Amino acid sequence: MVEAIPSATVAPLRDGPDGLEVLLLKRNAALEFVGGAWVFPGGRIDPEDYVTNSATELDAAHRAAVRECREEADLEIDISELVCISHWTTPEEAPKRFATWFFLAPANCGRQVVVDGGEIHHYQWVRPSVAIEQYRAGEALIIMPTYQTLELLLEFPTVAVAMDTCRGNDPVIVPATATSMGLP
C-alpha cells in the first residue's frame, strides 16, 4: 500500500452577480494524478508548513492551503478566514494517494487570477450549480471530493452565509474506501 501524502486544498469563494461563485482550476491533462480535472487550488503539505515543532497536521494544512492558492492562482487567502469542511483520503488501491484537508475561504477579489500554464491551464469562477451541470453534460472532469464540495455549496446564496454556516461544523471525514474518490 502506498502511503497517503498529507495535503490541503481551498475552495475560494466570491459573490458574483447571480450569487455565490467558486474558483475552479483546470489541471494540465498530461499530469499523472487527475490530469484534465477541474479542482480547487491545493497540493501537498510541505515541511515548511509546520512552523513549529508542536504544529499539528491541520495547522500545517491551513498554511499549505494559503500557499497553494497563491502558487496556483496568484490569489491571496486570509489564513484566519479558512474554514475546514472535510478530510478525504484516496483509496488504498490507488497508485498515488493523498490525505487532503478541504477548506472554504472568501477570496481577495481585488486581484486577477493568474495560472502558470504548466500544472494549471485554465480557471473559472463559476456557480456550483453550473459546475455540476458542466460535469453532468460531460464538459468537465470533476473528482468526487470536488463534486461533493460543490454540492455542499449549492445551498448558500452568498459567501457570508456559506462561511457562517460552515464555521461551526466539524469537518466530514471520508475514509480511504474504494468509492471515496470515484466520480458520481
Domain presence at residue 123: yes
Domain presence at residue 85: yes
Tell me the one-letter amino acid at 95.
Answer: P
Cα–Cα distance measured from residue 155 to residue 128, given in angstroms and rounded to the nearest whole number: 9
Domain presence at residue 182: no
What's the number of domains the chain is made of?
Answer: 1
Domain presence at residue 90: yes
Q: Tell me what pLDDT residue 184 has.
A: 42
Mean pLDDT of 19-26: 95
Domain presence at residue 68: yes
Q: Does residue 105 carry a pLDDT above 50?
A: yes
Q: Tell me what pLDDT residue 22 has.
A: 97
Query: Cβ(96)–Cβ(182) under 8 Å?
Result: no
Q: Tell me what pLDDT residue 53 has.
A: 81
Domain presence at residue 107: yes
Among the listed residues 53, 7, 25, 23, the one whose alpha carbon sits nearest the alpha carbon of residue 119? 25
Q: Does residue 6 carry a pLDDT above 60?
A: yes
> How far is C-alpha 33 from the chain's CA centre?
15
Higher pLDDT, 24 or 55: 24
* 36 contact partners, CB below 8 Å, separation of at least 6: 26, 27, 28, 29, 141
- From residue 45, alpha-carbon distances to 4, 42, 149, 165 in Å are 12, 9, 20, 27
Average pLDDT over all residues of the chain: 90
Please state the pTM of the whole predicted model: 0.91
Domain presence at residue 139: yes
Higher pLDDT, 27 or 165: 165
13: domain CATH number is: 3.90.79.10
Domain presence at residue 134: yes
The whole domain housing 138 covers 5-174
Mean pLDDT of 159-172: 94
